[in-house]
Amino acid sequence: MIVILKQGITPQEKDKVRSFLSEKGFIVKEIIGQEDTVFGAVGKSTIDPRTVELLPGVSSVVPISKPYKLASREMKKEDTIVKVGKVKIGGGRVAVIAGPCAVESYDQMMSIAESVREAGAVMLRGGAFKPRTSPYAFQGLGEEGLKLLRKAGDAFDMPITSEVVSPSDVAMMAGYVDMFQIGARNMQNFELLKEVGKTGMPVLLKRGLSATIEEWLMAAEYLMASGTDQVVLCERGIRTYEKATRNTLDCSAIPVVQKLTHLPVIGDPSHATGIRDMVAPMSLAIVASGASGVIVEVHNCPEKALSDGPQSLYPQQFAKLVHDIQALCPVVGKSLEKIPRILPQSMRTKREEESRDKADDSLVVAFQGVRGAFSELAARRSFDESAAMLACHSFSDAFEAVSSGKADYAVLPVENTLGGTVYDNLDLLAMHPELTVVGEQQVRVMHNLIVVPGTRMEDIRKVYSHPQGLQQCRAFLERELPDAERVPFFDTAGAVEYIASAGDKSIAAIAGAPAAHYYGMEVLRQGIETDASNYTRFYILAREENADVFRSQSKPDKASLSFSVSDEPGALMDILSTIAAKGINMTKLESRPIPGKPWEYLFFVELQLPENMAGFDELTEEIRAKAVSFRVLGIYTSAI
């Protein structure tokens, strides 16, 4: 049952409720949610809920209808975010775990770890105890394998996961792994589940070969009842009559499970398909289904792999896959989980010092607009939950906030796929040489018709939004609300704030879902924009001293430059030819008037960085020599 506590419950009353329940034989878990604090009480005992309801400080008692209790959404509404070292799984993230099926040797592990880390994996996998169908197949290196996996994880700064097959290995393995893996064949090995649960450590729980969703969640319940609340579910294909693939990937289980439980669910396309070529498309299907990540088998030499070679990706295939997953993330409203790249020793020390100095004041991130704006969403996706958001009235206020040190970073739009370049921000960047571009973020702009709760379509007389919001939803408005007046407003989330304060059912707003959530309004119609390919790209800006910390998270592959040229024939052409001659791909070119210099222009260029950075350094030297003014606005990792 769920015991909902009153807002003003005193610590003494809370203790009394807890001991009352424990004495009656219940396992009691406190869950602090956004709205309520509750005690989840589970166990074999039965009790008349009214006796609990009468205790001081208790608001109400609700029975849990499902056989799994601690794992159920009824018990906890918010998504659980499982932390494995510095990696987070769940919520708005997509975490990529990769590595070989089995640990085979030191060289094999180091080579694979290096390549998957470079490509964007955040956690390393590798089996040391392999439950093979045939007793004659390679059974794994055992503890020796765990040592190699640990070494590779430490060398490339990734937490590790490995399968545990026997309760008697749990204590030994706890000394090596960061997350236990329970294999499909052991999903209902209850003694193993209890032993692993007792460690309180994170667990990756594979779905059994022919387990129903309920049986799978009951297995999670075993882990949770034994003592861990850090469970990640993994859909890895089920047994069906189909033989074309090794198993049948049950993608529909992902949204089903996500509704039933607060635990994160990821997918394993490798064991689901058993075929290398199917792994990438099914990984994308897993992410599109709403999963919080994928676990993929990768091998440096799959032909020689001691197990599951035919389904293991080559490192280059894996790198391409991570790139595609990243491109898909904004479509499903998520962002790729990243961890800082390994830094050279000197930089690491500087960074540690910085984090020590700022131990208790968290990062401040500036964005333009009111709370709930798309810009806030972009800012949240770029930083950890602990970052504080600073809403700025104008773009220039956001620049000032970073410049003055009031904020550490600013996240500002530079381009929309339908509306084009946001010139104001390029102009402001030109005026702020102390700031640099350290990253990029992409957000899908999905518009919604937002109303005061309880409003019906026929009540709406006026629709408020930013002119672009109204324009982008014109077909919907003409079709569904032809008589409603369209009222331009200074921004989309601001329009939601306005209808919320007016509390009037005859007015609606068009904005993103976060704004509806933030102001407690209701989304009456979702995705009402005419063109669904509506994305906004943001720059993440910082002062130079904060740049490396952010950039170190992933390998830079893009640069932004600005330059001006003398007023003579071919001057611009000369610089563009220099870029072309280096074989460097230019992805954007804009020109802006220079304030105070009529008819003179500043050019903005975005480039793909070449593999060989020396080529880029030569290019900047050549442009510097030819241009009147020149600046590298930033080197960063592209979000697209």
Count of C-beta atoms within a 10 Å radius of residue 480: 14
| d(C-alpha 131, C-alpha 47), whole Å | 43
For ligand PEP, the closer CB: 186 or 199:
186
Among 88, 271, 432, 558, binds ligand PEP (CB under 6 A): 271
C-beta separation of 287 from 329 below 8 A? yes
Among 38, 94, 165, 184, binds ligand PEP (CB under 6 A): 184
For ligand PEP, the closer CB: 205 or 627:
205
Residue 495 one-letter amino acid: A
Min dist CB 240 to ligand PEP, Å, is 15
Strands (E) in 489-596, as ranges, are 507-511, 522-526, 535-543, 558-564, 586-594
Among 14, 93, 117, 206, binds ligand PEP (CB under 6 A): 206
The DSSP secondary structure of 360-419, one letter per residue, reads: SSPPEEEEESSTT-HHHHHHHHHS-TTPEEEEESSHHHHHHHHHHTS-SEEEEEEEETTT
Min dist CB 13 to ligand PEP, Å, is 46
Nearest one of 553, 170, 502, 190 to 338, comparing CA atoms: 553
Nearest one of 437, 406, 447, 450 to 534, comparing CA atoms: 447
Indicate which residue of 26, 129, 156, 538 is catalytic.
Answer: 538
Q: Which stretch binds ligand PEP (CB under 6 A): 36-44, 153-161, 181-189, 377-385?
A: 181-189
Q: Which residues contact 567 (CB under 8 A, 6 or more apart)?
A: 600
Q: Which residues contact 637 (CB under 8 A, 6 or more apart)?
A: 439, 440, 551, 553, 554, 555, 556, 557, 558
Residue with tokens 């929309």: 416
Could you give the string, one character per residue 213-242, with x where binding to ligand PEP holds by CB under 6 A and - elsewhere? -----------------------x------
Min dist CB 147 to ligand PEP, Å, is 18
| d(C-alpha 179, C-alpha 171), whole Å | 13
Element (H, E) at 429: helix 423-431
Alpha-carbon Rg for the chain in angstroms: 27
The entry of Mn ion, ligand PEP, none near residue 250 (CB within 5 to 8 angstroms by kind) is none
Region label for 35, one of left (φ > 0), alpha (ψ between -120 and 50) or beta (otherwise): alpha
For ligand PEP, the closer CB: 127 or 269:
127
C-beta separation of 530 from 479 below 8 A? no
3-state secondary structure of 200: coil
C-beta separation of 306 from 100 below 8 A? no
Nearest one of 59, 41, 44 to 5, comparing CA atoms: 59
Query: What letter would DSSP give residue 519?
Result: T
Min dist CB 101 to Mn ion, Å, is 3
The entry of ligand PEP, Mn ion, none near residue 183 (CB within 5 to 8 angstroms by kind) is ligand PEP
Min dist CB 184 to ligand PEP, Å, is 4
C-beta separation of 3 from 41 below 8 A? yes
Indicate which residue of 80, 161, 261, 536 is catalytic.
Answer: 536
Min dist CB 37 to ligand PEP, Å, is 37
| d(C-alpha 284, C-alpha 112), whole Å | 22
C-beta separation of 52 from 21 below 8 A? yes
Is 538 noted as a catalytic residue in this protein?
yes
The entry of Mn ion, ligand PEP, none near residue 206 (CB within 5 to 8 angstroms by kind) is ligand PEP
For ligand PEP, the closer CB: 163 or 497:
163
Size of the site for ligand PEP (CB under 6 A): 10
Residue 277 one-letter amino acid: D
For ligand PEP, the closer CB: 183 or 634:
183
Residue 167, CA distances (Å) to 189, 191, 325 in order: 9, 7, 36
Among 41, 52, 75, 101, binds ligand PEP (CB under 6 A): 101
Span 75-104, contacts to Mn ion by CB under 5 A: 101
Is 133 noted as a catalytic residue in this protein?
no
Span 499-528, contacts to Mn ion by CB under 5 A: none
For Mn ion, the closer CB: 7 or 133:
133
| d(C-alpha 197, C-alpha 214), whole Å | 19
Q: Is 634 in the site for ligand PEP (CB under 6 A)?
A: no
Min dist CB 124 to Mn ion, Å, is 14
Q: Which residue is nearest to ligand PEP (CB)?
A: 183
| d(C-alpha 1, C-alpha 47), whole Å | 10
Min dist CB 161 to ligand PEP, Å, is 9
Min dist CB 41 to ligand PEP, Å, is 33
Q: Which stretch binds ligand PEP (CB under 6 A): 177-185, 501-509, 542-550, 596-604?
A: 177-185
For ligand PEP, the closer CB: 195 or 606:
195
Among 127, 264, 302, 494, binds ligand PEP (CB under 6 A): 127
Span 277-316, contacts to Mn ion by CB under 5 A: 308
Min dist CB 191 to Mn ion, Å, is 24
The entry of Mn ion, ligand PEP, none near residue 426 (CB within 5 to 8 angstroms by kind) is none
For ligand PEP, the closer CB: 127 or 634:
127
Count of C-beta atoms within a 10 Å radius of residue 90: 22
- C-alpha 232 chain-centroid distance: 15
| d(C-alpha 465, C-alpha 460), whole Å | 14
For ligand PEP, the closer CB: 101 or 196:
101
Span 148-167, contacts to ligand PEP by CB under 6 A: 163
Min dist CB 291 to ligand PEP, Å, is 15
| d(C-alpha 235, C-alpha 247), whole Å | 11
For Mn ion, the closer CB: 101 or 607:
101
| d(C-alpha 224, C-alpha 219), whole Å | 9
Q: Which residue is nearest to Mn ion (CB)?
A: 101
Residue 177, CA distances (Å) to 28, 123, 271, 341, 597 in order: 28, 11, 21, 21, 63
Helix axes 315-328, 276-288, angle to 10 degrees: 20
For ligand PEP, the closer CB: 271 or 466:
271
Among 90, 92, 183, 556, binds ligand PEP (CB under 6 A): 183
* List of residues contacting ligand PEP (CB under 6 A): 101, 127, 163, 183-185, 206, 236, 268, 271
Residues contributing to the site for Mn ion (CB under 5 A) = 101, 308
Catalogue the active-site residues: 536, 538
